[in-house]
Structure 1
Amino acid sequence: MDLTLKLSPSFFISFLILIFLLKNPHFVSSSNPKCISTEREALLTFKQSLTDLSGRLSSWSGPDCCNWTGVLCDPRTSRVIKIGLRNPNQIVRSDEYQRGSLGGKIHPSLTRLKFLSYLDLSSNDFGGLEIPEFIGQIVRLRYLNLSSSSFSGEIPANLGNLSKLESLDLYAESFSDSGTFALRSSNLQWLSGLSSSLTYLNMGYVNLSGAGETWLEDFSRISELKELHLFNCELKNLPLSLSSSTNLKLLEVLDLSENSLSSPIPNWLFGLTSLKKLFLRWDFLQGSIPSGFKNLKLLETLDLSNNLGLTGEIPSVLGDLPQLKYLDLSANELNGQINGFLDAFSRNKGNSLVFLDLSSNKLAGTLPESLGALRNLQILDLSSNSFTGSVPSSIGNMASLKKLDLSYNAMNGKIAEGLGKLEELVDLNLMANSWEGVMLKSHFVNLRSLESIRLTTEQNRSLVLKLPSTWIPPFRLELIQIENCQIGPSFPMWLQVQTKLNFVTLRNTGIADKIPDSWFSGISSEVTYLILANNRIKGRLPQKLVFPKLNTIDLSSNNFEGPFPLWSTNATELRLYENNFSGPLPPNIDVLMPRMEKLYLFHNSFTGEIPSSLCELSPLQILSFRNNRFSGSFPKCWHRSFMLWGIDVSENNISGEIPSSLGVLRSLSVLLLNQNTLEGKIPDTLQNCSGLTNIDLGGNKLTGKLPSWLNKLSSLFMLRLQSNSFTGQIPDNLCNVPNLHILDLSGNKISGPIPKCIGNLTAIAHETSFEVFQNLVFIVTRARKYQEILNSINLSGNNINGEIPAEILRLSYLRILNLSRNSIAGSIPEKISELSRLETIDLSRNMFSGTIPQSLAAISSLQRLNLSYNKLEGSIPKLLKFEDPSIYIGNELLCGKPLPKQCSKGHY
């Protein structure tokens, strides 16, 4: 029987696969690896020692550890070769970062993973745990990253056993909620064990202050090193020589920033010819920038910023470096011009510089046309120097420029129209110069990418933006700051179409037009600053708008009219002063503006009562309502939770008594209630406001005696109680106020003598600068008024009797003394010239007798004098420079020039 075996093609394919599998037993594990049980147990033990709030290790269960999150096995052997457990959340988002952080302890079971070559535990939070020594036993490690995981203590020396390690990251800045932790290394000898393998080393924030003066030699022994990061390691010296620098020949990145090196830039750096990036910022380096940088032909990044001690001119050799892309020399003492430095770049036709920051130095001169040779430049910052002149026309050649900052210089020329060619420009900052001339449509027409413009000049509107009134620009700004430049009088279309603004400052721009309501409602809901101050803008504000992110509103010094704007905002500062607003304040102002801290409404025509809802604004610090038409009583509902320190409701029609509840405001420093119709006594509760520095209650109807507790206000600088109806004597306790510089009790019914203790007002015996008025800045124009009466005593218009006490001569810095319209008798002190800084003396309408002291003529600072209507006699001192007879009138026994009565021979 003839049997014929017929085999199908599928049989042959199956047979071949079987033969392949028999010859390749590892193929199955390659396609479907199963982890080794002992390593699985090691990983589970490691997991159990950790805290895992977010459940990042929830996949660590089941038989196959090679499929667990953060675990990688060799596809051929199934051995665990990699553990990557870096926190997946960004550190800057602290809540998510903390939830995603692993903590607890690191178990020695990791040493059972004999083939582990990669271990990353970075950006976690081990709460000050010391780096375990057993990590030095995982000898196959090639990559170890323990950065930003809050380790502390001494770095174990047996990390030097990891002879295969290529990358070691121990960056130690901590972001733990528990605080910061210090990681240190007092002996760097362990680095020698890594000398033949390590290419990357980051020990930023590791304290190396105990490593001694050989720290650099220790690092230089790592012959294969390409990157070395020693940021903020508390290194105190930088050796000027390095015997084994040949071992750093491969180094491409060196970061020694934020240490206290305090030395010149050493020459050994210029032997590291492989360097591509060099960071030496905040190192207090000294001296000039050496020309040796010319040797670093591969250098791409050079950061010498914020050393504060680098001096001299910028060497032109930096412009010859062919690969240089990033150069930061900011915040030093560099001086001279930059022409030679920039000329080198213009010769270097292939220059690739994209970032140049020379800000905050002492560079001077004009900007040369060679600036335009930096055709690849994207960031140019020349701010805070002393450059003068104009913006060069070559600026238009810098087609890649995205940021241009020339702010805070002395540039006093024109802005070149070439600026308008910069289509990539995003941020333009030309503020704080003395620009002049005209900016036209051609300056802006191609600025399609512009998002931010800052343009201010020190001279009053010497720079004019002369743009077509109907022109619509190609840009939509997010930030605009224009000050002291002429834009108006119209509110132009190019401004009206800016609907993405989140920061607006248009101060002193000559706008005298109305602003359309659509502009206010059209600007971004993201707006944080709205400043339109010092213009002549007229019209009414739209009433109901919502600005949830608005922080500061300044519409001061305009011609706005109408009611208070009912804007819903989280602003902390509102300036509406010097306008024509009228009507009452909203009773729910606390709901509309719940975060208000500073409220400036002075010089308007607001009426009605001051709303008691202000008492619910617990963040309130300053309330300035001066010169309005407010009436009724001042709110009485203040409570202890307030931080209110400045109140000015002067020059209104406020009536009733001063609220005793003001006494709970422990933070109160300035209280100005003058020029109202307040009555009653000064409440004793004010003595609890121990921080009071300035009190002005003048021009009211207050009665009673002067408070005896004023000496408790040890910080009191100014006390003005003029034009009231206070009675009684000046209390001796008033003499014990140590910081009093202004005392005005004029126009009351005070009687008795001037207390002899007035000489104890020691503050008037010392020089005081205008800086003491810093806490009066909030009342703006008022501060200058008070400066004029600094170091003054005014007791005029009372019933004071007795004599001028000799003790008053101790007040050597007294500038103004006014005792007029009293019943003071006796003679003018013969030694009155001891008050050598007096500018004004008014003793008129009293009962002074005797002669005018000759020493009065010795007070060179004296500008005003009034001795009229007394009982003075004898000749007027010849050296007195005052020739107005009204100064002496009413003294029948006085004679001599400038009076018509001549003196007899006996009077000379």
Structure 2
Amino acid sequence: MAIWRTPCQILLLLSFLLLNKSFFLEAAESHSTRKIGSCIENERKALLELKTTLNDPSGLLSSWVGKNCCNWTGISCSDETGNVVKLDLKNFNLCSLCTPLNQSQQGGTLNLSFLNLPYLSYLDISWNNFQGIHIPKFIGSLKNLQYLDLSENNFIGKVPPSLGNLSNLEYLDLSHSSNLWASDLNWLSGLTSIKYLGLNGLNLSLAGANWLQAVNMLPSLTELHLADCELNTSVPELEFVNFSSLQVLDLSNNNFSSSMPSWLFNISTLCNLQRIDLSDNKISGDIYEFMEALARCSNNTLTHIDLSSNHLKGNLPESIGSLRNLEDLLLTRNSFSGSFPMLIGNLSSLERLDLSFNSMNGIIPESIGQLTSLYQLDLFGNSWEGIITENHFRNLSSLFYFSLSSISKSVIFNLSQDWIPCFSLVELAVSDCQLGPAFPSWLTTQTDHLSQLTLSSAGISDAIPDWFWSLASRLSFVDLSDNQLTGKLPKLASFDGSMDLGFNLLEGSIPIWPNVISLSLRNNLFSGPIPSNIGQGMLNVEALDLSRNFLNGSIPASINNMASLRFLDLSSNDLSGLIPNQLLGLQNLMTLDLSKNNLSGPSSLCSLPSLLFLNLKGNNLSGELAATLQNCSGGLNIIDLGENQFSGIIPGTVLGNLSYLYYLGLRANLLTGSIPQELCKFTGLHIIDLAQNNLSGAIPECLGNLEAFTTLLPYLSDIPLTEDISFEEHVEMVSKSRKNEFRKIIDLVNAIDLSSNNLVGEIPDHLTKLSQLGTLNLSWNHLTGRIPDNIGNLRRLETLDLSHNNLSGTIPPSMSSMTLLNYLNVSFNNLSGQIPTSNQFQTFNDPSIYQGNPKLCGPPLLTRCSPLSKGKGEDNNGESEDEDKYYKFWFYVSMGLGFIVGFWVVCGSLLIKQTWRRAYFKFVDETKDRLFVVIRSIISRFPKEDCGRMMMCLR
């Protein structure tokens, strides 16, 4: 290495630099030009050709002009070569409120010009709209691609297997296209460098169980996203686990029905995981082994666990407290039981904890107050017990969302009135707990962020304080239902959300709240007329429930001004007069309940175009039923016109237009004629109430074909925090001799009530096909014949009333298999035989349910069964009356034939055959002599006086 020391040497160096100044300037300029100047000409042309095939509503490509394509929007070039290496046309649409997303998306087609970008390593065209085209196969020829994002693009068709040629690809996202599918994932084997694989929403229903083996062959994979891929088999097992680098696993919303896969317990896989999401499946079993495996990881990095909406059960182990890096633990909607883990306070990084809608019980430990990072705590829908104190919230300064309820109603809040919490909530939901009796004054501190408040069934028996209305004016949702709140409601001009104050002791007149969206004042003490100007004063209201109060007067015609009204319930009041025709102007009305009032006149309300639920039961309405139903909206789900004075027949042709009907209530009217066959066409009909009319004829056999009575619909509880009050329809059914109201579970009620009519004929055998039928009432008719032998097929039947008919025969033995039956009445018929004694019949100890059947016998009746009747009605050895007569007949016939055959076999042969006859009589004489000698020798042993008498007897 030369060292410049003398002035001469330094001068020589400066001269050299000055002489070569131009060389260095040219080199620097050349480098600068390469960096920010023109791209390769062929590649510039390829980009311009691509531009011609793309739709560009947002003007994103307006900068694609001139020669400096490396400066174009979305384009990046290599500093060394000038080649295009990055194309980013992702649609961010940061101002979706200003410009709708579909007006800013790229679209059109993708052409072969991409192949003239051979050095492209990054391609992102996500969040655009290429609806109606396939993913081009030529993309698999871009061998230098390392990043490819085609997500949220509405591509259709099969994923081209040619994508497996991209051996340098590290990131691939094909998520959330509308109709994209793959028959297998074998093409993934070529992606030897892949680290991120996003296939959310890709239809893999044809891939079978081999998808996991294909993914398992990707050794560098760190993130796997297969949510909502229609993988509906069990989670496959692996003999060899190759997920040594896996950090994120998302298999949510796939309807898996197996237990937790054992390969998840592999230490080499489990200890590297950071996020696992198996939510919205049907995974069953215990998670104890999974949690224990996690606890064995000394360097556990897991931050997110989501197992919500599955069928998991068991206790949460205390080892969960060792997951020190855990931020999200989401276990809602499972069947977890047992107590709250006491070591939960060790999870210092925990931000979200959701244990809602499980079967957990016991106390909630105060250690939960140590979770300083916690901002979401959902404990709704369990059976907690014990006392909640201020210590439970001591350090929860980050808490934004809190929900708690106890099905057993065994939680008591012990918070002082002057308590000042350290948190500032956004949402608060407390139900089925003892929060009162005083109205919680600490809510005055929650004025900064609180938007949703639920304190339902919270044991508050107090007047609503004035300060609360100031707080409520800033909320979007308030639910204070099912308490014992007292007082009158003020004017609340600024409230523009949803409020439920139902099931309290509030009184006074109905307030006018101009900006309210949803208002429920159900089941209170409000009185007086509905304000005549309610329609003008509450123009924005969408749901209004004033039912079960003491309102009187007529229905204001101004309600017609509520153009946005979707739900209106004025039932169970003292309203009178005609139903105003102006209500026909409520074009958006979906639910209308005016039942249990004193309204009169005919009604044509079922012609409202959007109506789904119509309940006019229990009024003074009259007229021909056919005229009332003539213009009904085809979308009606529920019609209840019971307990009125409608007359005429049930119009089958009119009902035929109601394709979606699943509840028909016409109880207690003046209807005549037969039950129309058209009822059998409704696939969704699962409640039929035609009781207390004058209907005649036979029960249609085709009722046994109603599909809704053969399928049990799933039912999910409502989530506790919503942005809108869930206004629910409610229907009333008579079962077990009393009226029962069904609200949340209308879809689960399957009932047929044809009682108190003039129906004749036999009970159709086809009715025994209705496997999900819960209530069957055919009482007070003129039915004859036998109870169907196969009635035991109605395994879900809870109520059966066949009383006051002319039924005969025995009680079918198959009824013993109806183990859910808890109400039975067969009184006042002509039934006979022994009452069954097995299974449910052991609980039917009331003799009145069998009275009026003089030929019935056995417990609980005092009439004892004769030997001939014993066993009748038993499950194992009993027969019906007809079968009994059949066997008796053939018993006597066989005895007669046996006597005749036996007589002529013996006596006939003696008459015909002389030698046999002589031998027979000789045998008889010899037998007589032997018998006489034996008897005489026995008598000789007795005294002579006795012997003489015996000999005289023998003579």
TM norm structure 1 = 0.70
Closer, same or farther: CA 438–42 of 1 in aligned 2, 3 Å: closer
Aligned to 1:220: 189
Alignment-mate amino acid for residue 841 of structure 1: H
> CA 1:66–1:365 in structure 2 vs 1: closer, same or farther (change >3 Å)?
closer
1-structure distance, mates of 2:413, 2:703: 51
Deviation of 1:855 (Å): 1.5
Q: Return the match for 1:778 from 729, 737, 745.
A: 729
Residues 495 and 858 of structure 1, relative CA distance in 2, 3 Å threshold: farther
- The residue number in structure 1 matching 2:632 is 689
Task: Measure how far apart 1:71 and its partner are.
Answer: 5.2
Within a 5 Å distance, the mapping from 1:759-778 to structure 2 comes to 759-760=699-700, 763=703, 778=729
Between 1:375-384 and 1:50-59, the stretch displaced more is 50-59
Matching residue of 1:277: 223
Residue deviations 1:801-853, cap 9 Å, x none? xxx7753766989735448xxxxxxxx8875878995454399xxxxxxxx99
Map of 1:555 onto structure 2: 501
Structure 2 counterpart SS, 1:738: helix
1:818, 1:681 → 2: CA distance?
Answer: 25
- The Cα offsets for residues 41-83 of structure 1, whole Å up to 9 and x where unpaired, read as 8876765665543344445567866655445677789887766
Q: Which residue of 2 aligns with 1:125?
A: 107
Aligned to 1:719: 666
* Cα distance in 2 between the residues matched to 1:232 and 1:584: 54
Tell me, in whole angstroms, the C-alpha distance in 2 between the residues paired with 1:78 and 1:288: 48
**Counterpart in the other structure of 1:738:** 679
CA contact (8 A) 2:563 2:586 kept: yes
1:300 aligns with 2:243: no
| One-letter code aligned to 1:487 | L
Q: Does 2:368 correspond to 1:419?
A: yes
- 748, 757, 762: which one aligns with 2:697: 757
Q: Which amino acid aligns with 1:478?
A: V
1:144 to 99, 111, 123: 123
Alpha-carbon spacing, 1:832–1:600, altered in 2? closer, same or farther (3 Å): farther
Q: Which amino acid aligns with 1:171?
A: L
Q: CA deviation at 1:467?
A: 1.4
Aligned-residue offset at 1:472: 1.5
Query: Which residue identity does 1:807 align to in structure 2?
Result: G
User: Structure 1 residue 578 and structure 2 residue 532: aligned?
Assistant: no
CA shift digits 1:548-577 (9 cap, x unpaired)? 3x2x43221111112223223453x53321
Question: Do the aligned residues in 1 keep the contact of 2:488 with 2:507 (CA within 8 Å)?
Answer: yes
Distance 1:431 1:167 in 2: 46
Q: Distance in 1 between matches of 2:155 and 2:561?
A: 43
Using the TM superposition, give the Cα deviation of residue 427 of structure 1 relative to its aligned residue in structure 2, in angstroms.
0.6
2:756 counterpart residue number: 794
Counterparts of residues 816-895 of structure 1 (less than 5 Å): 817-818=779-780, 831=785, 838-841=801-804, 855-856=830-831
**How far is the alpha carbon of 1:717 from its aligned partner?**
2.9
The residue number in structure 2 matching 1:617 is 562
1:401 maps to 2:346: no
- Once residues 321 and 43 of structure 1 are traced to their aligned partners in structure 2, the CA distance between those partners, rounded to angstroms, is 45
> Could you say what secondary structure the match of 1:388 adopts?
strand
Distance 1:543 1:839, change over 3 A: farther
Distance 1:830 1:285 in 2: 51
Letter in 1 for 2:631: N
**Contact 1:172-1:182 at 8 Å conserved across structures:** no
Greater shift in the superposed pair: 832-841 or 367-376: 832-841
Q: Secondary structure at the match of 1:538?
A: coil
Separation in structure 1 between the aligned mates of residue 89 and residue 140 of structure 2, nearest angstrom: 23
Q: Give the one of 468, 489, 494 matched to 1:541.
A: 489
The aligned residue for residue 209 of structure 2 is 262
Q: Tell me the equivalent position of 1:658.
A: 602
Q: Render the CA deviation track for 1:665-724: whole Å, top value 9, x for unaligned.
A: 684653425245x6777783542227676444646xx69x636857633568332355xx
Does 1:462 find its partner at 2:410?
A: yes
- Which stretch shows the higher mean deviation, 423-432 or 619-628? 619-628
Match of 1:807 in 2: 761
| Per-residue Cα deviation, 1:415-472 (whole angstroms, up to 9, x for no partner) | 111011111111111122111111111111211111111211211x211111112211
Cα separation, 2, equivalents of 1:857 and 1:198: 81
Matches within 5 A, 1:153-232: 159=139, 162-163=142-143, 165-169=144-148, 171=150, 173-174=152-153, 180-182=154-156, 184=158, 186=160, 188=162, 192=165, 194-195=166-167, 197-204=168-175, 216=186, 218-221=187-190, 223-232=192-201
Q: How far, CA to CA, are the matches of 1:520 and 1:167 in structure 2?
A: 59
* Residues 638 and 236 (structure 1), Cα distance of their counterparts in 2 relative to 1, 3 Å cut: closer
Deviation at 1:877, TM superposition (A): 6.2
Q: How has the CA–CA distance of structure 1 residues 532 and 672 changed in structure 2, closer, same or farther, with 3 Å as cutoff?
A: same
Distance 1:60 1:598, change over 3 A: closer
Pair 1:765–1:133, CA change in 2 (3 A): closer
Q: Secondary structure at the match of 1:539?
A: coil
- Where do 1:233-244 residues align within 5 Å? 233-235=202-204
Q: 3-state SS of the aligned residue for 1:614? A: helix
Q: Choose from 100, 104, 110 the match for 1:100.
A: 104
Could you tell me how far 1:616 is from its partner in structure 2? 3.4
Bigger CA drift: 373-382 or 626-635?
626-635
Distance 1:14 1:67, change over 3 A: farther
How many Å separate the matches in 2 of 1:863 and 1:720? 29
The corresponding residue for 1:564 is 510
Q: Provide the rounded CA distance (Å) in 1 between the counterparts of 2:433 and 2:91.
A: 51
Decide which structure has the larger Cα Rg and report it. Answer: 2
Report the Cα distance in structure 1 between the residues aligned to 2:623 and 2:200, rounded to whole angstroms: 67
Do 2:403 and 2:428's aligned partners in 1 also have CA atoms closer than 8 Å?
yes
Contact (CA 8 Å) 2:514, 2:538: kept in 1 or not? yes
Q: Which deviations, in whole Å up to 9, do the C-alpha atoms of 1:771-799 show, x marking residues without a partner?
A: 99x9x97235667765699523336xxxx
- Equivalent residue runs for 1:434-583 within 5 Å: 434-459=383-408, 461-499=409-447, 500-523=449-472, 525=474, 527=476, 529-548=477-496, 550=497, 552-569=498-515, 571=517, 573-583=518-528
TM value normalised by structure 2: 0.67
8 Å contact 1:26–1:76 — kept in the other structure?
no
Of residues 604, 607, 614, the one that matches 1:670 is: 614
C-alpha distance in 2 between matches for 1:385 and 1:373: 22
Question: Which amino acid in structure 1 is aligned with residue 307 of structure 2?
Answer: L
The 8 Å contact of residues 258 and 283 in structure 2, kept in 1 or not, is answered as yes
- The SS at the match of 2:582 is coil
Indicate if the aligned counterparts of 1:313 and 1:335 stay in contact, CA closer than 8 A: no
Compute the displacement of 1:203 (Å): 4.9
Distance 2:191 2:702 in 1: 68
- Let me know the Cα RMSD of the aligned residues: 4.9
Is contact 2:235–2:261 with CA below 8 Å preserved after alignment? no
- Residue number in structure 1 paired with 2:577: 632
1:849-886 residue CA offsets vs partner (Å, 9 max, x unmatched):
xxx99825679799879999xxxxxx9768599999xx
Aligned length: 758
Cα distance in 2 for partners of 1:576, 1:503 equals 18
CA distance in 2, matches of 1:139, 1:531: 62
Identify unmatched segments of 5+ residues in structure 2. 1-12, 681-686, 716-726, 742-750, 768-774, 792-799, 807-826, 836-843, 863-955
Q: 1:522 to 1:220 in 2, by over 3 A?
A: same
Aligned-partner Cα distance in 2 for 1:168–1:628: 67
Contact residue 199 and residue 225 of structure 2 kept, 8 A: no
SS at 2:276 equivalent: strand
Q: Which residue of 2 aligns with 1:431?
A: 380
Q: Percent identity?
A: 30
Relative distance call for 1:758 and 1:398 in structure 2 (3 A) is: same
Distance 1:554 1:136, change over 3 A: same
Amino acid at match of 1:732: G
Unaligned runs of 5+ in 1: 1-11, 102-123, 175-179, 238-259, 747-753, 796-803, 820-827, 844-851, 869-874, 885-908
Name the structure 2 match of 1:121: none
Q: Which residue of 1 aligns with 2:316?
A: 367
Letter in 2 for 1:536: Q
